[in-house]
Structure 1
Amino acid sequence: MAKSLHQRLSLYVNGDESYIFVPAEPVGARPLVVHRNSGDIVLDSPNAPIPTSAKRSNKTVYGILGLIALSLSEYVIVITGREQRGKLLGHPIYRAVDFDILPLDPSASVSSPPHAVEAHLLALVKSHLSSGSFLFSYDFDITRRLQAQYVAREKDEGRAFWEIADDRFFWNKFLQSRFMDITASNPSNDLSSYILPVIYGSFDIRLSSLNGRSVQLALISRRSRFRAGTRYFRRGVDEEGHVANFNETEQIVALPSESDPDDFKTTLGFVQIRGSVPVFWAEVNTLRYKPDLQIMDLQESVEATRRHLQEQVSLYGDQSLVNLVDQKGYEKPVKEAYERYVAEAKVPQVKYQYFDFHNECKHMRWDRIGLLIDSLRDDLLRDGYFHLESSKPEPIKWQLGTVRTNCMDNLDRTNVAQAAIARWTLELQLKAAGLLADNDKVENHEDLTQHLRELWSDHADLISRAYAGTGALKTDFTRTGKRTRAGAFDDFKKSAVRYFKNNYFDGARQDAYDLITGTWIPRKGPSSATFLVNDNRPLIIRAVPYALLFSLFMVLAGLTLPRSSNYSLFYYFVLWLSLLALSVTFVFIYGIDYVSWPRLLPPTDIINYSGPGYRSGDHGKGLGLDVGKLKAGASAQWMAHGLRRDKHLEEIELGTRKRID
């Protein structure tokens, strides 16, 4: 059993001196004191009196997310609102729904920051906290799958939750790094009870029944903090083998005893993973619906693919790689690169499986996803699942491998495939547990089937919102088992919203990911980061959108406002429609300069890549531009102009500065 965490804290603000966090229980627990002037974080003595000058906050603190340093001050981020999402094996699982940000510098203000840079960075923090899905538990390690917890149960005895958490899914690890460093360096000042591991993911649980037996069906997803980000600004793999949008999804079935709903006689777990194609590739937004596809054949490409696959084998066992990328058209080069590098990596225990999703399931024949299950049947039977009976000294069955699924975004097609694989495995598990006859099927039981569909559909939506900005596509099939025209129209609307968000809003979202996970670390003093609030694009680039809007206004005015003369408006409309057309044409010719790019770590190296590899086009960079000769003053380089070129910032821009692990 891991060390317990404090569940409720009372916050006292002692003027400009300190923040004092007093646990509600156990009685006599040592309060945590954060000194505002020095930044020191210490445990006070048990039952220490609260200073008479300290004022108690009217909010209950349910956990400390961590500490972040911005350009002017450090800030303590605390959880002040939570909702219980359910109980997993009797352990409450919470979602953080409200936060407070407490400045350490007495002169700093969260509501009205004294500098535009600090205001911008605080806005990034707030937007990340308000839009994310953060889950935690005080007495259960939700960062690790059931099988991993069982294997390490003796080793974990008496250790703190932060010490046993899965490093990939400990989302606030960077924010908690100060607390962990203090604890590691000074055991007498052990802050472990205040270090709350949080995951970015989804959790849902449904109580169903099957043949007169109660069945708890749960689904939990865990998003990796490595290479985290948004759809177009985090793709592929990095040199360490981390891929974008990596998620571990665990489907859990718990069978409680008839006499005690919290006594689980049987526990079944099944894990799948998803992640971006593990090669160096990207999609460069140009305001066109299809971005420029870029695949970079680098010297490190094979090794990066190998590292990723080796890590998955070491963590999960045998790997069945299911690739759903199209084998024709725009996506074909990604498929070919994936296959080439997997073959060259030569990692044992890895089997590649291609499924032509769009061709096999065209004309809304999504039931044909069963063909994929048929091709994976032997692998699924070999890899198995986790099966634990409380009456047995050891698990009845272990999961010895996983299916790793991907499409271009690891969202929509991946969701359909993973849901189908999970349903097939659930049927196998229920038969092994004696709840389902050998000749019976899950879909014959409407209550269980509906809960399963809702779990996977909601799970798909949450992963999609985090990565692409909207709910998932194709969820009508996941929810109902049928592909409908209404669902296709809903997908069209979501695709349109994705286009606008990915081109015009995701730069700030990406910056928020990089700030919270510690991929980019601010320097002290806002003058080093004025590039965040200044627009360094050439004047003509900034002026054309105003010309576009004004000409559009004049055209609409000519169509709607009452006329005061009988003169023809022919030349009026020719003038303003011509200006409108020229402005629109200019914007798309120089489309890269109108995309909302990340500012903390601008992807200029990808935009301007001219080495070996594949590129689908060279759109949005202006007229007559030689991509192979792009230099500091060329199009799209304005993103890096505001950065001071000292050694520290060069490391940050190039991504060589490591996060704190």
Structure 2
Amino acid sequence: MKPIYQRLNLFIDGQDAYTFVPVEPIGAQSLTIHRATGDIVLNAPNTPVPSTASRYGKTIYGILGMISLALSEYVIVMTGREHRARLMGHDIYRAADFDILPLNPNVSVQNPQHPVEGHLLALVRSHLLGGYFLFSYGWDLSRRLQVQWQDQENQERKALWEVTDDRFFWNKFLQSRLTDTDIARDLSPYILPVIYGTFDIRTVYIHGHRIQLCLISRRSRYRAGTRYFRRGIDHEGHVANFNETEQILLVDEKAAGRLSLAESFTHKLSFIQIRGSVPVFWAEINTLRYKPDLQVMDLQETVDMMKLHLQEQVTEYGGQSLINLVNQKGYEQPVKEAYERTVSQVEIPDVKYQYFDFHNECKHMRWDRISVLIEKVHDDLVNQGYFHLDTAQDTAVRFQTGVVRTNCMDNLDRTNVVQAALAKWTLNHQLKAIGVLSDNEELDDFDALSRGFREMWADHADLIAKAYAGSGALKTDFTRTNKRTRVGALEDGYKGLMRYIKNNHFDGARQDGFDLVTGAWTPQKNPVTAATLIADTRPLITRSVPYILSFSLFMICAGLTLPRTSDYSLSYYFTLWFIIASLTIMFMMVHGIEYVSWPRLIPSTDVIYYEGPGFRSAHNGKGFTGSLGQKLDLSGQSDGFGARLLLNGRKRALTVNGMEEGTKKRVD
């Protein structure tokens, strides 16, 4: 595989060009990006840097790509990295810091000339700093071990970006300016793919064997986003919060009696699981209530899209064992029924459906009851198997021929617990199959391995949950300790509160960051037409209510410290401000949709005001007149708060930044 430059020096030639020069090897071809035209030029070997150029103060560890906003195009470079570990002889890093360099010399990143440009830059910067991006200069983190082994002859002739799994090539849109040029192959040493996911690795010794246990998750860039703004399936068969998780087991049989530091292993084993949102059209509409309004949209293409999704998974992984953990009663029941109704109409021989009532089976903290589910899917786990390489043999010992696809409502907390249990069951069988453990031994008999396994899966669960829901995962006390505790339940309550706050008041901007960086939405080169992205066009009374509430609470607190000349007069005082505070809270709850942070780039209007067949749990938050005739103008929101309700009976085309709703660009 062609190498990627690991360190670059950047030289800025005034307002003319950026020149990237590899630190090693000396004399390698430098890369110049002309600021006036945006042209990308690969210079001849040993080309000297212009004498007028000044060196940038930071070392560049990789070019993430380029993005075009309203006033300028920008080069995004990595200026900080964190070494995570070594895997298969390759260093694995986490991208830790970034700089954004404008091509337009008249544009300042620190002080943008137009507020729209500043807003878009803030979205990009927030996404980069808030994500968990992983990369390697010589190892393809985007593809599982089995695929890399099967494609080893082909990948030796290609660059890393050419073989990267398209689903997990997170910065593919940013790199498209380089990969879409005629000299893309020659630019390969500068094209660094990154994944959005998790990585952890632990080393232990058991019975003289050196064992490395590694856990990698890869998040799909398709239908990417936040918890309440990306649910279900889209019209291309992609589902929200799709993650591939790979557990890699490396065993060295020659490590007995010494502390081996060698990076060659006798056995290499891999076990894959996937998760993804329930593959039907559904949503949860935020209304400031703790439980959003649940909506299932019964569209004509639902069956076709689920079939497309499952066929893609069968093509990619083999047989599918679908485990559904959604509750069969109460709030979640309509989603479960829609899933089962649709999957019964999808006739794919390699797909099996299994329902498990997680909350009922494991109530009263009986988490050991997950063994009931493992018994139900035992045959599938055995038949699908895992990937196993033995260096003593020329061919693979066995292949994984299918995967378990697990989901709950969010594909986070219950899914994490079940996936960890399935991974533990498989790890036990792998260790016994290669002779590390005897038939009467279990993973839990070895404290170091057991503790490392639990911590890896708990940390993995936290990172996936933070990326999607904004807080760490729930139920990780069980994953870490094999026990459900009351302290863990209290921590879950706190995390649930943090999720509520972030999902209602901060996730709109986060979703816009996802859509902007992945290329789901692209701006026009005119910030004036995009001014509605930063304007608040709600009626004055709507905007003033939160301030009235804040002032009322201030007055109540102030009243507690006032001199008490008369308890009778103070009672009137407190009654007045309590009534005002109560009325403002009531108003905000009735008009809850107006006070939610909605995405602006790709609005959710079609989902909020869906009127076709399906299920809707309620129509909260739409004002005193209900949902009839009301349309939400998401183009005129302020930075964390809702938008305007248009009280007319006609539907109108919603334009954002000069484009009609739904006009967006998806880079595949």
TM range, normalised to the smaller chain?
Answer: over 0.9
One-letter amino acid of the structure 1 residue matched with residue 407 of structure 2: N
Shift of 1:552: 1.6
Structure 2 residue runs of 5 or longer lacking an equivalent are 637-641
Residue deviations 1:72-114 (CA, integer Å, cap 9, x gap): 0111010111111101111111000011111110011111111
Write the distance in 2 (CA, Å) between the matches of 1:335 and 1:269: 31
Write the distance in 2 (CA, Å) between the matches of 1:271 and 1:88: 17
Give runs of aligned pairs for residues 405-420 of structure 1, distance below 5 A: 405-420=406-421
- 1:30 is aligned to 29
One-letter amino acid of the structure 2 residue matched with residue 438 of structure 1: D
Shift of 1:571: 2.4
- 1:101 is aligned to 100
Write the distance in 1 (CA, Å) between the matches of 2:71 and 2:164: 31
Shift of 1:541: 1.1
Shift of 1:573: 2.2
The farther-off stretch of 381-390 and 440-449 is: 440-449
Write the distance in 2 (CA, Å) between the matches of 1:632 and 1:390: 61
Q: 1:268 to 1:52 in 2, by over 3 A?
A: same
- 2:427 is aligned to 426
Shift of 1:637: 6.7
Residue deviations 1:249-295 (CA, integer Å, cap 9, x gap): 00001113436621111100000000000000000000000000000
| 2:630 corresponds to 1:630 | yes
One-letter amino acid of the structure 2 residue matched with residue 153 of structure 1: Q
Name the count of aligned residue pairs: 653
CA contact (8 A) 2:233 2:280 kept: yes
Q: Secondary structure at the match of 2:573?
A: helix
Q: 1:35 to 1:640 in 2, by over 3 A?
A: farther
- 1:156 is aligned to 155
- 2:91 is aligned to 92
One-letter amino acid of the structure 1 residue matched with residue 3 of structure 2: S
CA contact (8 A) 2:132 2:196 kept: yes
Structure 1 residue runs of 5 or longer lacking an equivalent are none
Aligned residues: CA RMSD: 1.9
CA contact (8 A) 1:89 1:254 kept: no
CA contact (8 A) 1:203 1:220 kept: yes
Shift of 1:561: 2.2
Write the distance in 2 (CA, Å) between the matches of 1:644 and 1:524: 21
Write the distance in 2 (CA, Å) between the matches of 1:432 and 1:633: 60
Shift of 1:639: 8.4
CA contact (8 A) 2:522 2:665 kept: no
Give runs of aligned pairs for residues 603-622 of structure 1, distance below 5 A: 603-622=604-623
Write the distance in 1 (CA, Å) between the matches of 2:118 and 2:564: 47
Residue deviations 1:2-46 (CA, integer Å, cap 9, x gap): 211111101111111111100111222100101111111111111
Write the distance in 2 (CA, Å) between the matches of 1:479 and 1:211: 24
Residue deviations 1:334-389 (CA, integer Å, cap 9, x gap): 00000111111222200000001000100011111111111111000000000001
- 2:174 is aligned to 175
Write the distance in 1 (CA, Å) between the matches of 2:266 and 2:18: 45
Q: 1:9 to 1:614 in 2, by over 3 A?
A: same
Shift of 1:578: 1.2
Residue deviations 1:442-474 (CA, integer Å, cap 9, x gap): 111111100000110000000000000011000
- 2:208 is aligned to 212
Write the distance in 1 (CA, Å) between the matches of 2:593 and 2:355: 33
Give runs of aligned pairs for residues 223-242 of structure 1, distance below 5 A: 223-242=219-238
- 2:344 is aligned to 343
One-letter amino acid of the structure 2 residue matched with residue 81 of structure 1: G
Q: Secondary structure at the match of 2:234?
A: coil
Q: 1:649 to 1:260 in 2, by over 3 A?
A: same
Q: 1:426 to 1:632 in 2, by over 3 A?
A: closer
CA contact (8 A) 2:536 2:643 kept: no
Give runs of aligned pairs for residues 279-428 of structure 1, distance below 5 A: 279-428=280-429
CA contact (8 A) 2:274 2:403 kept: yes
One-letter amino acid of the structure 2 residue matched with residue 9 of structure 1: L
Residue deviations 1:127-155 (CA, integer Å, cap 9, x gap): 11111000000011101000111111112
Shift of 1:553: 1.6
CA contact (8 A) 1:324 1:414 kept: yes
Q: Secondary structure at the match of 1:58?
A: coil
Write the distance in 2 (CA, Å) between the matches of 1:503 and 1:244: 18
- 1:197 is aligned to 193
Q: 1:75 to 1:223 in 2, by over 3 A?
A: same
The farther-off stretch of 109-118 and 253-262 is: 253-262
Shift of 1:562: 2.3
Q: 1:126 to 1:632 in 2, by over 3 A?
A: closer
Write the distance in 1 (CA, Å) between the matches of 2:574 and 2:459: 49
Normalising by the residue count of structure 1, what TM-score does the alignment of the two structures yield?
Answer: 0.96
Give runs of aligned pairs for residues 456-467 of structure 1, distance below 5 A: 456-467=457-468
- 2:114 is aligned to 115
One-letter amino acid of the structure 1 residue matched with residue 205 of structure 2: S
Q: Secondary structure at the match of 2:172?
A: coil
The farther-off stretch of 604-613 and 555-564 is: 555-564
Q: 1:647 to 1:206 in 2, by over 3 A?
A: closer
Identity of paired residues, percent? Answer: 61
Shift of 1:60: 0.9
Q: 1:374 to 1:566 in 2, by over 3 A?
A: closer
- 1:658 is aligned to 665
The farther-off stretch of 123-132 and 250-259 is: 250-259
